[in-house]
Every structure is written in structure tokens, then in C-alpha cells.
Chain A
């Protein structure tokens, strides 16, 4: 039966899953366990666990950059730049005092996120954040209003629909052409 893990190990594990390339997750955690035992030979498991969390936090920037270098394709990078540009444009339009057509904004959020997530369907949530995140951000900073946070929700819906359609089409195509 595995030993119960403390909260700092859980946090470290979650952060590690976010920033570390898939191929290194197991070995990196093993290295952390070994290094914590070497650096704190007489310490309790809780202290070692906190040491591991600090190490993961210190390592996060370089691990994240490495993951982007190895796992994020050029297509995803271009899609992310386009998503951020669309997000910035929508945030600008939303900030204009003369603009009052929420329906058009919602449609733009859903459609743009959907199309971009269909082009790069691996991380729909990231595209949704890029398209729909800037609008609530500027609203919170400029007007102290949290209501536009719902824009992220619409962007998420669009992105997952777009990615879902592409994945379904791909699996159907594969099923139709075995081997």
C-alpha cells in the first residue's frame, strides 16, 4: 500500500504535471525523492516533501521552457499568437463605451475559439484562455467588474466543440482505414 502523501507532495505533483515534459515526469520525481533523502538525511518525510515542493517551484521556469521547446509545435505557437491577437481585439472592442452588442461578442468568442482549437486541438483550454482571458482581465483592471469572466466560459465551450469535432472526425477516419 502506498504511503499517504502530504499536501506539499500533491501540490508539487500537480505543478510537475503542468510544467514537465511527459517523458521526464516519472524520472524527475524519482530524482527529487532521491535528492531530498540525500540533502535531508535525518529529516522527517514532511520536511523532505516541502523541500521537494521548493525544488519543483525553482525548476518550474526551465522545465516549462523545455516543455514548450519539445512539445509545442510551430502550428500551436502560431495559433496562440493569433488567439492572443483576437483576444486583445475583442477586449478593445468591449472596452469602447459606444459598444453594446454582447451577442456579437459571444458569437465571436465561441466561433474564434472553435476554429483555432480545431486547427490545434491538443490544448483547447489554453486557446480559450488566450481568446477569452483578456476581456475579463481589462474589465477587472479598468472597471473593477468581474462579470466578463463569463467570456472565458463561452471561449471554453467554443474551443472544446472545435477540438471535439476534429478529434471525432480523426477517429472516424482512422476507423474507416484500418492499418
Chain B
């Protein structure tokens, strides 16, 4: 796999959220899933930009859903992970796992812990 196929951390988080949402993920749901799981504040803009980049790479595909009243009559753009996206996500997670394997993580613990 080429060097550029390695995903960034946020790309991994967004792809994992989409997998968790069972291919029914859209801007708000991905944003909330990442916030709930990581405890980190995420802007919708960052999620959209990442989803767009992943779509350009061919890792996700989007379709426009039906407009709903709670969204002011606007439609959702639903995203699903493609096979290439799953492969790249697996590769990225395995790479981190290989780096971590056998490593004494004591030095990564906060001081005094």
C-alpha cells in the first residue's frame, strides 16, 4: 500500500464513526459520534471537509436523502464506506497496532500516575 494511503487520525475517526453508524452517517451524526467517543469538540466544518476528502479518494460514497421537517426542509447527505475505505482503515489501524505491539507504554503514562 502506498504511503499516501495511510489515513490521518481524524480521517480514521470519521471512517470509524461511519462504520459504527452502519452506513447511515451524515454530518451531525458523525460529529456527535466522534464527540461522544473521543470527548473532543469537533466542528461540522471539519467533519464535512474530511468526508469530502475521503469521497475524493474513493473511500466513501454519498447520496442525498429525503428532506425532513426537523432540518428545516433540508435533505441529509448520507455517507457509506466503500471497500477501498474499509481496506485503508484496516491498514491504518494495523500499522498503529504494529508500532504499539511489544512496546512498553509506561513512558506514555502521565507523570505521577
Cβ distance B113 to chain A, nearest Cβ, rounded Å? 33
Q: Which residues of B contact A60 (CB under 8 A)?
A: 45
In the complex, the answer to whether B43 meets A55 with C-beta atoms within 8 Å is yes
Rounded to whole Å, the gap between the CB of B68 and the closest CB of chain A is 8
Given contacts A31-B28, A66-B53, contact A55 B44 (CB under 8 A): yes
Inter-chain contact A30/B48, CB cutoff 8 Å: no
- Residue A35 CB within 8 A of the other chain: yes
Cβ of A28 and Cβ of B28 under 8 Å apart? no
Residue on A with the closest CB to B41? A58
Against A, the Cβ 8 Å flags (1 = close, 0 = not) of B31-58 are: 1100000000001111011001100100
Q: Which residues of B contact A28 (CB under 8 A)?
A: 27, 44, 48
Interface window among A19-27, A96-104, A155-163: A19-27
> Is A73 engaged at the interface, CB distance under 8 Å to the other chain?
no
A35 to B, closest residue via Cβ: B28
Contact yes or no, A59 B44, CB < 8 A: yes
- Decide yes or no: A69 and B64 within 8 Å by CB, A27-B27, A27-B75 being known contacts: no
Interface of A, secondary structure class, is helix
| Interface residue SS majority, chain B | helix
User: Taking the nearest CB of chain B, how far is it from the CB of A104, in angstroms?
Assistant: 44
Q: Given A24-B52, A27-B26, A66-B53, A33 and B45 touching (CB < 8 A)?
A: no
Would A66 and B48 count as touching, CB distance under 8 A?
yes
Contact B74 A30 (CB under 8 A): yes
Whether A58 touches B43, Cβ cut-off 8 Å, given contacts A35-B28, A66-B49, is yes
Give chain B nearest CB distance to A5 CB in angstroms: 10
Asked whether, in the complex, the Cβ of B74 is within 8 Å of the Cβ of A27, the reply is yes
* 0/1 string, A24-57, CB within 8 A of B gives 1: 1011111111110110000000000000000100
A48 CA to B78 CA, complexed, in Å: 24
Q: Does A88 contact B (CB under 8 A)?
A: no
CA distance A90 to B28 in the complex (A): 47
**Which 5 pairs between the two chains have the least Cβ-Cβ distance?**
A59-B45, A30-B74, A30-B71, A66-B49, A31-B27
Q: Can you name 13 A-B residue pairings with CB atoms under 8 Å?
A: A27-B26, A28-B48, A29-B74, A30-B73, A31-B26, A31-B28, A31-B44, A34-B70, A38-B28, A58-B45, A63-B48, A69-B52, A69-B53
